[in-house]
């Protein structure tokens, strides 16, 4: 009896320490809680084993210990192992841990096995049939995030590396793809570079975050007026997950990530899950928890209460998993295993994990990925677009090459350079679904862009900037360029050649210049001027070189067709 009292007291001390460390949800549907209980039982068993050893004289003087070891090794290894397991299963703590583990496995199987709940699995996501018009058009290519996370990390690290007062104390945490003021950006907070760096800086907090523009391919460090105290890299009571757990002890949440609102104010977002069926599986997002990292204040919101600036509530991996359930189990479990009529899945990488790109659409971030047959035959039968805030999901039928075949086709056009393609995004150009991607060198830096036709992936165009790539691809589609020309660095298209206008027959007009600006477009410098009536005119700078002598407020005579001008 005394032994069990000692074990019980030791375990009572262990429970709050282990809970403080692991912070599982106090919810029967939380896997963390079950493993927490199993760990507590094992701890009880370890303490009990130690006491048993002491009682048996296991911790005597060295000479007695040697005699014990010599006697032990006289037995065969098999006998020794058998005796060990017999002793273990006589231990109450190990018995309880084993029973809980078996019980968890049995309940989980019968409560959520696909064979019993195929229909419920297939209803976790709602998919709407659409058409190619739902694919973002080429005019919206600025809303397509072409940069992958690894490239963003390199740019962000380079930006932080230039800040001597920051780089010594912090590094950059994981990036989140968001829509910020109508454009896609990747954003990541700084994090403490270890426990001692936290001890030194915990009163000041995290001083800023990094944004990476995946279209312009540049990074910016944003310094904050006040430091963020409640962050994932903090320790003890300032640790973000622990802080949220103590406020919501029974809530199951995960997918904690960093976002900024439209004013650039930082927030942390956790997705909240509730069980639809079963013990562990069948979870569905029902809302989110917003955390103010400055003062730790929290809001638990349902899906219809989430502000529109929040972009990631349903993460891409969850969406792909639920779509696979829908696409394979809507015809029943046995059909998914044998007949497989109508069964399909999202595009998978070589390690069988889902892969997807991002598109900024209607103020939200949508994930995009191809849909293929279960045979994985390097071709797509369509695509899905899914909103990461609402999980609105569209299926777009469109046959053609899958993303990895398109990546290989793009890499093949620049094989002498050894560039590697990132996972592509999807645009619609002249009603042609098109993959667009970046090509990176061995250092992970973006060097070129590539556009590949979905239906005919031998139609490939490459260029050193996005605008030229699209211009070459257009010319390739309309037949004015060959594939070889579309991938030559010396090729110019009508969209990239300097545009000189014949204004010899245009009307003359006297204007007062109220504003003058020069802008580089597709490698060519244009000058824009505004007159007193706020009319805007432009010209190729080389054609109106005398404008160098014209100042704001001067009156000049021009010839213009209403858009372009020349000096008379």
* 427-459 per-position pLDDT tens digit: 888 889 999 998 998 888 888 999 999 999 999
The parent domain of residue 552 ranges over 507-567
Identify whether 123 is part of a domain. Answer: no
According to the per-residue pLDDT averaged within each range, which of 48-52, 296-300, 554-558 is highest? 296-300
Tokens at 565, concatenated? 């001008």
Q: What is the pLDDT of residues 239-287, one digit of tens each?
A: 999 999 999 999 999 999 999 999 999 999 999 999 988 888 889 999 9
Q: Which helix (H) or strand (E) holds 266?
A: strand 266-275
Query: DSSP states of 401-468 as a string?
Result: E-HHHHHHHHHHHTTTTT-EEPPPEEEEETTEEEEEEEEE-TTS-EEEEEEEESS-TT-EEEESSHHH
Cβ burial 133-153 (10 Å sphere, 16+ → b, else e): eebbebeebebbbbbbbebbb
Boundary-marking domain end, from 333, 358, 386: 386
Identify whether 138 is part of a domain. Answer: no
CB 331 within 8 A of CB 341: yes
CB 101 within 8 A of CB 38: yes
Q: Which helix (H) or strand (E) holds 73?
A: helix 62-73
3-state secondary structure of 566: strand
| 242 plus 269 within the same structural domain | yes
Identify whether 51 is part of a domain. Answer: yes
Angstrom CA distances, 15 to 18, 33, 36, 102, stand at 5, 12, 9, 22
* Residue 60 pLDDT exceeds 60: no
Angstrom CA distances, 14 to 22, 40, 44, 246, 564, stand at 12, 8, 9, 18, 78
3-state secondary structure 370-389: EEEECCCCCEEEEEEEEECC
Q: Which helix (H) or strand (E) holds 51?
A: helix 31-55
3-state secondary structure 76-125: CHHHHHHHHHHHHHCCHHHHHHHHHHHHHHHHHHHHHCHHHHHHHHHCCC
Identify whether 431 is part of a domain. Answer: yes
Tokens at 547, concatenated? 């404008």
Per-residue pLDDT at 1: 72
Identify whether 428 is part of a domain. Answer: yes
| 419 plus 352 within the same structural domain | no
| 364 plus 309 within the same structural domain | yes
* pLDDT > 70 in the chain, percent: 88
Q: Considering the chain, what is the average pLDDT of its residues?
A: 86
* Residue 519 CA neighbour count, 13 Å, CB half: 9
According to the per-residue pLDDT averaged within each range, which of 97-101, 321-325, 363-367 is highest? 321-325
Alpha helices (H) in 230-312, listed in sequence order = 240-247
3-state secondary structure of 477: helix
Per-residue pLDDT at 86: 56
* Residue 561 pLDDT exceeds 80: yes
| 22 plus 78 within the same structural domain | yes
Identify whether 125 is part of a domain. Answer: no
Confidence class for position 563, pLDDT limits 50, 70, 90: confident
Angstrom CA distances, 303 to 57, 306, 313, stand at 62, 6, 9
Per-residue pLDDT at 339: 86
Q: Which helix (H) or strand (E) holds 316?
A: helix 316-329
| 227 plus 335 within the same structural domain | yes
More confident residue, 339 or 525: 339
Identify whether 214 is part of a domain. Answer: yes
Query: Which strands form 555-560's sheet, in the order they lie side by side?
Result: 507-512, 555-560, 565-567
Tokens at 541, concatenated? 């700078």
Q: Which helix (H) or strand (E) holds 565?
A: strand 565-567
| 281 plus 167 within the same structural domain | yes
Boundary-marking domain end, from 428, 453, 486: 486
| 106 plus 171 within the same structural domain | no
* Residue 63 pLDDT exceeds 50: no
Q: What is the pLDDT of residues 487-499, one digit of tens each?
A: 887 766 655 554 5
| 94 plus 202 within the same structural domain | no
3-state secondary structure of 541: helix
Per-residue pLDDT at 376: 63
Q: What is the pLDDT of residues 306-322, one digit of tens each?
A: 999 999 999 999 999 99
Per-residue pLDDT at 26: 97
Per-residue pLDDT at 80: 46
| 346 plus 233 within the same structural domain | yes
* Residue 59 pLDDT exceeds 50: no
More confident residue, 247 or 565: 247
| 200 plus 325 within the same structural domain | yes
| 354 plus 232 within the same structural domain | yes
Split into its structural domains, the chain has a count of 4
Identify whether 450 is part of a domain. Answer: yes
| 328 plus 381 within the same structural domain | yes
Tokens at 185, concatenated? 């950006």
> Residue holding tokens 């006040």?
226
Q: What is the pLDDT of residues 249-262, one digit of tens each?
A: 999 999 999 999 99
Per-residue pLDDT at 62: 46
Distance CA 103, CA 126 (A): 33
Q: What is the pLDDT of residues 327-360, one digit of tens each?
A: 999 999 999 989 899 899 998 876 666 778 888 8
Per-residue pLDDT at 163: 85
Per-residue pLDDT at 353: 67
Q: What is the pLDDT of residues 131-184, one digit of tens each?
A: 998 888 766 555 566 777 787 888 888 888 888 778 889 999 999 999 998 888
Q: At 70, give phi and psi (nearest 5°).
A: -60, -40
Checking phi first, is residue 351 left (phi over 0); if not, alpha (psi -120 to 50) or beta? alpha
CATH code of residue 517: 2.40.50
Boundary-marking domain end, from 89, 112, 135: 112
Distance CA 514, CA 304 (A): 48
């Amino acid at each position: 009896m005394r032994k069990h009292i000692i074990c019980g007291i030791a375990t009572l001390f262990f429970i709050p320490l282990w809970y403080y460390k692991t912070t599982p949800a106090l919810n029967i549907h939380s896997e963390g809680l079950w493993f927490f209980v199993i760990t507590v039982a094992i701890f009880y068993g370890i303490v009990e084993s130690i006491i048993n050893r002491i009682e048996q004289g296991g911790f005597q003087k060295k000479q007695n210990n040697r005699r014990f070891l010599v006697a032990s090794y006289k037995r065969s290894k098999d006998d020794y192992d058998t005796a060990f397991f017999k002793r273990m299963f006589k231990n109450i703590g190990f018995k309880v841990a084993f029973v809980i583990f078996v019980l968890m496995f049995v309940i989980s199987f019968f409560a959520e096995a696909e064979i019993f709940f195929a229909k419920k699995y297939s209803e976790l996501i709602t998919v709407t049939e659409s058409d190619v018009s739902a694919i973002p058009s080429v005019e919206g290519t600025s809303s397509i995030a072409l940069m992958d996370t690894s490239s963003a990390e390199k740019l962000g690290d380079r930006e932080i590396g230039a800040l001597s007062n920051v780089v010594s104390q912090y590094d950059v945490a994981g990036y989140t793809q968001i829509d910020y003021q109508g454009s896609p950006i990747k954003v990541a907070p700084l994090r403490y570079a270890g426990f001692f760096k936290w001890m030194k800086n915990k009163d000041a907090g995290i001083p800023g975050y990094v944004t990476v523009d995946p279209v312009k391919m540049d990074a910016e460090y944003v310094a904050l007026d006040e430091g963020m105290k409640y962050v994932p890299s903090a320790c003890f009571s300032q640790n973000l997950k622990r802080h949220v757990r103590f406020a919501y002890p029974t809530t199951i949440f995960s997918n904690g990530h960093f976002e900024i609102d439209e004013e650039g104010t930082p927030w942390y977002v956790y997705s909240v899950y509730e069980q639809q069926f079963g013990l562990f599986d069948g979870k569905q997002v029902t809302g989110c928890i917003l955390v103010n990292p400055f003062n730790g204040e929290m809001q638990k919101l349902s899906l219809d209460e989430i502000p529109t600036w929040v972009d990631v509530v349903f993460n891409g991996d969850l969406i792909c998993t639920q779509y696979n359930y829908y696409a394979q189990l809507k015809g029943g479990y046995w059909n998914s295993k044998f007949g497989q009529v109508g069964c399909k899945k999202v595009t998978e990488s070589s390690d069988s994990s889902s892969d997807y790109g991002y598109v900024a659409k209607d103020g939200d971030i949508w994930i995009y990925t191809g849909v293929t047959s279960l045979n994985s035959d390097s071709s797509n039968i369509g695509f899905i677009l899914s909103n990461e805030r609402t999980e609105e999901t569209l299926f777009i039928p469109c046959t053609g090459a899958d993303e990895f075949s398109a990546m290989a086709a793009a890499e093949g056009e620049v094989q002498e350079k050894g560039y590697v393609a990132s996972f592509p995004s999807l645009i619609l150009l002249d009603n042609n679904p098109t993959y667009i991607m970046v090509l990176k060198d061995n250092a992970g830096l973006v060097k070129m862009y590539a556009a590949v036709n979905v239906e005919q992936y031998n139609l490939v165009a490459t260029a050193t900037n996005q605008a030229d790539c699209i211009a070459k691809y257009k010319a390739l589609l309309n037949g004015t360029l060959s594939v070889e020309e579309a991938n030559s660095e010396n090729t110019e298209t009508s969209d990239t050649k300097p545009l000189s206008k014949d204004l010899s027959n245009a009307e003359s007009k006297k204007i007062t210049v109220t504003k003058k600006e020069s802008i580089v477009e597709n490698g060519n410098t244009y000058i824009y001027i505004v007159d007193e009536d706020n009319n805007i005119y432009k010209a190729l700078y080389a054609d109106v070189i005398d404008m160098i002598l014209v100042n704001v407020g001067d009156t000049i005579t021009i010839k213009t067709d209403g858009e372009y001008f020349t000096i008379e």
